[in-house]
Every structure is written in structure tokens, then in C-alpha cells.
Structure 1
Amino acid sequence: MPKMIFVNLPVADLKKSMAFYAAIGFVNNPHFTDDTAACMVWSETIHVMLLTHAKWRTFTARPIPDAGASEVMLALSLDDRAAVDAMNDTAAANGGTADINPVQEHGFMYGRDLTDPDGHVWEAFWMDPAVIPAD
């Protein structure tokens, strides 16, 4: 079995969050979805678990951060600059916020940051594979 990551995020409105993540390219896995949680799949190895606040509290007593706080920024690689721009535009059109930080333009790498409806920070980025050193 490949190593996988499951990012768990508390969300205020599960249906709204599911619609947001579907709009930016995630696919719902109904086997791990109910009225309290939804599994949204980015790739075979990257999944996001959207958890209602009540469900979140069954895992930890730590407080849910305010929507304006940043604890982590999650980065997703995309195929090209146009896909980065499209994800940011789609996020803004579906309840998120685009460009919460300055655009990252480094020539070989391009990134734009967005938030979901709950303020979770994501970076959509593209990097030119030709600049990655060969082993």
C-alpha cells in the first residue's frame, strides 16, 4: 500500500465545503462520507477529510482556530500556470478567497494562495519539471 496523507479539516457547513472542494477538483468518496464527515480525494495518495465541528471535537479538545488564523498552508501541485490561475478563480467563485498572500512568481515556479470557506489556506502551485535536478 502506498503511503498516503489524510488531511482533517473542521468545517462549519459540510455541504458547502463539499461543493467548494468539488469545484476546485476534488472528488467525493462516498464510502467515507456521512452527515458528519466527507472524504474528498485529490489523488490516489491525498485525501481531505471534512469534519463538522461536532465530529472534529470527537478527535480533539483543542479549540478550532478562528477563520482568520493560519496554522498550516497546504500546497497542491498543478500541471501548469493556467491551472493555478483557474483554481484560484474557481475558489473565489465558490465561497473561497483567492490571493490571500502575494502571488509567488519565481520563473521556474508559480504559486497562488487561496482559502476555503472556513479559512483553511491552500497554495496552488506549478513548478517547471525541467529545473528539477536529475539523480
Structure 2
Amino acid sequence: MSISAYGKPLWKSITWRGLLQWVLVAFFALAGLLNMLGTAALLAEYRRWGYPGWFHYVTGTLELSSALLQARRTTAKVGAALGAAVMAAAFLTLVFHREWLHAAFPLTVFFALIVSRTTIQP
């Protein structure tokens, strides 16, 4: 059994907020890579939404940057803000095109970013 620096088993030292932060880092890294690869289905969606053919590279770069920034403690809030901006843009795009169910996902990620980086003081 691994012991953390605090003398507790490692799995007991992981907080839900810390886990959420790493899930978000993984999400933005994977989303960024998928956007950079630009599958045929993804490119068709970007065209349908009226974005230029190269725009998936912009989205992918922003998502990868968000993941890298969130992974470092000193830049995590900036990375979360960048990710929130990307998710807000995705949400607005989907709402504009009346893709209501599809719009729920970036909205959920947006709020997860807020929750993951907000410190509640008693």
C-alpha cells in the first residue's frame, strides 16, 4: 500500500476536487488531440457550424494549452479560465445552432471547471 506524505494511504489523501481537476486535465488533453487530428465527422460538424476549415486547429491548440496550464499548480487557474472560455464558446455555438442536448456537455464542463477551482471558505 502506498503511503502519502501525510502518513495516510494514498487513496485516502485524494480529494474529490483534486480528482475532478485531473479528470478535467485529461478531458482537455484528449479533446485537444482529437481536434488537432480532425476526423471527418468532426470536420463536417465545424463546416455545418460555419467555421473555416482550419478552425479545429485553433480549438485543439486552446484545449491542449488549457490542459497543460491546468496541470501546473502555478498556472492552474489561468488554464481553467481558458478552458471555461473554450467551453462557453462551444456552448454558444451549439445553442445558436439549436443543438440543445449537445449543448449540455460543454455547459457541464464549464461548471465543473468553476467548481474545481473555487475555494469555499467557511
Q: Same fold (TM over 0.5)?
A: no
Return the TM-score normalized by structure 1: 0.29
Return the TM-score normalized by structure 2: 0.30
Between Structure 1 and Structure 2, which shows a larger proportion of helix residues? 2
Between Structure 1 and Structure 2, which shows a larger proportion of strand residues? 1
